[in-house]
Structures are given as structure tokens and as C-alpha cells.
Structure 1
Amino acid sequence: MSKYKNLDDIPLTFGPVQLAEILGISKNKAYSIANRPDFPKIHVGKKIVISKKHFISWMDANFFDTAKF
């Protein structure tokens, strides 16, 4: 069970392990998503850092509007 119940629970920055927890997916899949060229992240050394604000914008832009179906 995820410790992230709503958007307020997500930290301002996080990594692929937390991305996996947020989305309820495997760590391998989270790293695969985080390494996509269009995914918003920065590299600090070898570490991947994801911004909550940019992640939410990316999610909004990349999900279908299910109300149309």
C-alpha cells in the first residue's frame, strides 16, 4: 500500500524509487519512465531528481481525457 494518498503527500522533489511508490509500479518500470527523453528530471551526478510540479504537469499532458470515451 502506497504512503502517498494525495498530491500533498508527494515531496517537492523525489527519485525513481518514490516514483514507483507514487504510481504503484515496479522500480524497474519507474526507472524506465524516468529515463524517457520527454520525462521531466534533472541529473545531479548519477542521481535522478524529479520535481513534483513538473511531474504533475507531465502527467496531465500525457494521460488521455477519459471523459471523451
Structure 2
Amino acid sequence: MNDKKRLSSYDDLPLVLDVADIQRIMGISRVSAYELVHTPGFPAFRRGRLIKVSKIAFFEWMAKGFETVPGSNK
């Protein structure tokens, strides 16, 4: 996804997200995005060196909520 493209709707997102997409959607730093995709229970998968996330799985994961957010002291 082009980093300069503004996110305006769910339908504008690709079916498979990468770490940069997660970073932009959540408004977090690159480091926090990588910590998040390595969090147990996060719906990421690897394709070689690339980390990918299904758009549907990501938004289902967000809808469920999560207890630990990287960088928070909860």
C-alpha cells in the first residue's frame, strides 16, 4: 500500500496487509507494529521474510479486543 495514500475506508485496504499497513491503520510506530505482529494470538503469518495479515482476521482480532498492547504497561 502506498504510504502517502490516505486511508478513507475499509474497502480501500488490500485483502492482505503488511506491517506498514498495520502501522498506518493503528497510528503506531514501526517498532510498535513489529512488536504487535510478534505478539502471541495476533493473526500474522510469514511468507519467507515477509509478515502478512489477512484484513478480515486483523479486524476480527481488533473487534475482540486485546489485553496487552506492546509498549503499554498493562
Normalising by structure 2, report the TM-score. Answer: 0.76
Unaligned runs of 5+ in 1: 64-69
Letter in 1 for 2:52: V
1:50 aligns to 2:56 (yes or no): no
Of 13, 17, 23 in structure 2, the residue corresponding to residue 20 of structure 1 is 23
Distance (whole Å) between structure 2 residues aligned to residue 39 and residue 47 of structure 1: 15
Unaligned runs of 5+ in 2: 67-74
CA displacement, residues 22-48 of structure 1 (integer Å, 9 cap, x when unaligned):
111111111111111110011111110
Q: Percent identity?
A: 33
Higher percent of residues as helix: 1
- Equivalenced residue count is 63
Distance 1:23 1:2, change over 3 A: farther
1:6 maps to: 9
Aligned structure 1 segments of 4 or more residues deviating by more than 3 angstroms: none
Normalising by structure 1, report the TM-score. Answer: 0.81
Letter in 2 for 1:28: V
| Secondary structure class of the residue paired with 1:8 | helix
Distance 1:20 1:2, change over 3 A: farther
